[in-house]
Amino acid sequence: MDFLKRYCLPFVVFLTGACVLIIEVVATRILSPYYGNTIFTVSSVISVVLAALSFGYYFGGKLADKYPAEKNFYTIILISGLSVILLHLLNLFLLPRLGYNLSIVSGPIISAVVLFFLPSLLLGMLSPFAIKLQELRLPKRGIGSITGEIFFWSTLGSIFGSLLAGFVLIPQFGISHIILVTGIILIILGLFPIIKFRNFWRSIFKTILFVIIGIFFVNLLSSFNKSSNIIYSYDGVYEKITIYDGEYGGKPTRFFQQDRSLSGAMFLNSDELVYDYTKYYALYKVFKPNVTNALVIGGGAYSIPKALLKDIPQVTIDVSEIEPALFELAKKYFKIKETDHIHNYVKDGRRFLNDTKKKYDLIFSDVYYSLFSVPAHFTTQEFFNIAKNKLNKNGIFIASLIGDLSRQAPSLIMSEIKTFRTVFPNSYFFAVDSPKKTGSQNIIFVGYNSDKKINLNYQKLAKYQIPIIQSLREKNINLDRFELSPYSILTDNFSPIEYLTSKILQKNFNQQKFLDGKEMLAIIDQQLRYGPRYISATGHKKVQKFLIAEMSMLTKEIKIQSFQHTSTTDGKTYRLNNIIAHLWPEKKRRIILATHYDSKKFADRDLAQPNKSVPGANDSSSGVAILLELSRALLNSSEVIPNVGVDVIFFDGEEGEENMSGNYKNWKPLGSIYFAEHLSEIYMDKKPIIGVVLDMICDRDLEIIKERSSVKNAPEQVEAFWEIGKKISSSVFKDVIGEEIHDDHTSLNQVSIPSFLVIDFKYTPFHTTEDTIDKCSSSSLEIVGNTLIKYIYSLK
């Protein structure tokens, strides 16, 4: 009897401690189908459980002092068991609705509070309650000894529960069964006083009946929640595995899903690969046509090993897949045949690469199948180094990542590209959807273990009778479009993958704007990173290269109008370049959208620093940002094509000769003057009907009034534009005529193209060192850009 008196409560807290950790470990698996197995999910679960336990310790101690009865202790256990059953019901019916409507960042903590706070709170109340009861039972033992003993057994139970969940329960049983059994154990434990103090057999019968009815009811509800097209569903060692039938592209398809992420699929009536990104395995034909051995990291539905074996029957393929059940599932559900040519290894892909003595002609990494589950150790410089070291000479490494080509920092894909190039200098990147797209898509990384450059011209690719290969040129991401200095190199020491993926997901969840002001700010920032952009500056050449690459990606109809100018101030001769891109070149009636891209060499309005260069965030970069983003949005738009063709022109030398300081007597906008004088070289048949010039239109206190010479030369056009602008923002577009300003529109008006200038000439930092990006506003950029778009579509 003394033995029971001493060890009964420690045994109970051992069991309840085990239940706490079982719930905590399983909690991550419950949330990961909706938010991924990310650091946000893990830290949210740990934080919520610890917070609940803390409150439980506090209130449990208070309650124990006030009502120190054994039946109250077991009542708390009983209620905690019922709360675990409630947790299961919430998981079945509430979480699917809650999970898909919350972000990857806020979702885990909100869901963790809803599901796990109450059970953890109740279970946390038990330890201080047990200490109080044990003190009353064993008054001669010190409170310190009793406290230490209770917490010892509770913590030991937690260790046992954690190991049991990870090594036994999750690998052998479904999450639902684990939660149900945990709840039932707590309910039975909570009913102990009834068994102890009342008719024994009658209580046993009632308890068993209650448990059977409860299990039947919950399983019945669970069956209602299952989709009829699911043919296999089970909790794997690492993720919940679901195989179901449906349609893709109008074809009957079998899908393979791990947690929330679709990681494989197979057409039921065709051998064609389902997802476009998987088809890029065929790049070996361009880079390394004689593949004899290959490694695929990440089996999934084993689509790529199956396709490789079909292409090269004698190839040896190693597959490293950490989930033990997948290879057998692939053979059962995805038509993988037994063959000596596929060797499956149940091992982490990076560990396998590190340990293997083999070298490969082709390595395809297919572990980045979703933004909800990006394994950080496959994203780092160290991993890419391991992969390169296991390639044969001229071997290739291919990886498909998910991200976007937005310039907004931080950026997963930009960081990955920068990291990848440190290991594979000879590398290539392809956008599966389109390099014009700034939304999320698959990006194919190709690292070539060779000094040989691959020519991606149409003639070289045309000989391959494979659409994916024939389209490589148009899918190629020209890195001249980007400036990578602000993006981090990812290493084993620093790889904040969950943070980077959350930024992409947040943008995806937010309503997409036709024109994104933040994206335009990022374009301004990129130009500023090139440094000063006056005519002879290094930054001037960099921004030219950037504009040519960007517009060449958007349209094939691009012209570089080069000319020389001899300076009247220093006698030097400079080469300037107007960049002209034609959107919808087939249209005869055309308008010009123009800005300049050079910046001022001397801050002549900055009395303190007159010899320093002007950053040109507003005066230079803002017009470029709007026209680039507007061009991309127009060409990607599913809206009706406008009635007019659009010529986007980036004028060079608008700031005049670079050594000109505060004396504007001899100032001339060099690029637009040359363009006007050689108009017939660009327009042989018919002049454009309108010209719109943008200059200084991103400042935070934007106020745009009508420029006097614009009203004189293009009165109808100015009136129509301002009417649209006032509807979008009456605080920005003012129905006031201001002073006359000479700018690039002046040259266009002189050759009888009715043109007007959109400018905030009250912007005080222009031609000073204070013309920086902090003076710019994404809202201002969107207002001007949207006005311009509506104006274009209003033209008949």
Where are the domains positioned within the chain? 2-224, 276-504, 513-794
Write down the pLDDT at residue 166: 81
The SS3 of residue 764 is coil
CATH T-level topology, domain 513-794: Aminopeptidase (3.40.630)
User: Which pLDDT score, from 0 to 100, does residue 20 have?
Assistant: 93
- 3 burial level (CB within 10 Å; 0-12, 13-18, 19+): exposed
Topology classification of domain 2-224: Growth Hormone; Chain: A; (1.20.1250)
The CATH number of 276-504, from 3.30.420.40, 3.40.47.40, 3.30.420.10, 3.40.50.150, is 3.40.50.150
Q: DSSP states of 87-148 as a string?
A: HHHHHHHTHHHHHTTS-TTTHHHHHHHHHHHHHHHHHHTHHHHHHHHHHHH-TTS-HHHHHH
List pLDDT tens digits, range 332-351. 999 999 999 999 999 989 99
Residue 372 pLDDT:
60
| Predicted pLDDT at 660 | 75
What the block records as the tokens of 171 is 């690998």
At residue 568, the pLDDT reads: 82
pLDDT at 224: 46
Predicted confidence (pLDDT) per residue in 208-237, tens digit: 555 555 555 555 554 444 556 999 988 777
CA dist list (Å): 491 to 373, 381, 399, 696? 18, 5, 17, 40
Nearest to 623 by CA among 599, 659, 590: 599
pLDDT (tens digit, 9 = 90+) per residue, 470-523? Answer: 999 999 999 999 999 999 999 988 888 878 887 776 776 565 678 999 999 999
- Cis omega (within 30 of 0) on the bond before 410? yes
Tell me: pLDDT of 609 over 80.
Answer: yes
Mean pLDDT of 550-579: 93
Q: What is the pLDDT of residue 209?
A: 56
What is the tens place of the pLDDT at every residue in 738-777? 999 999 999 999 999 999 999 999 999 999 999 999 999 9
**pLDDT band with cut points at 50, 70 and 90 for residue 200:** very low
Residue 526 above 70 pLDDT? yes
Strand 240-248 to strand 360-365: parallel, antiparallel, or no bridges (unpaired)?
unpaired
Model confidence pLDDT, tens digit, residues 487-498: 999 998 888 887
Min mean pLDDT across 40-44, 99-103, 214-218 is at: 214-218
Instruction: Count helices and strands (H / E) in the chain.
Output: 30, 19
Task: Give the pLDDT score at 36.
Answer: 63
pLDDT tens-digit series, residues 153-187: 999 999 999 999 888 887 778 788 889 999 999 99
Q: Average of pLDDT values for 190-205? A: 58
Cβ(553)–Cβ(474) under 8 Å?
A: no
Q: What is the pLDDT of residue 795?
A: 95
Q: Which two tokens stand for residue 192?
A: 């102990």
pLDDT tens sequence across 348-399: 899 999 999 999 999 999 988 666 667 888 999 999 999 999 999 999 999 9
Mean per-residue pLDDT of the chain:
90
Angle at 56 between CA 50 and CA 58, to 5 degrees: 110
What pLDDT, on the 0 to 100 scale, is given for residue 258? 84
* Spatial separation of the C-alpha atoms in residues 324 and 685, rounded to whole Å: 69
More confident residue, 216 or 121: 121
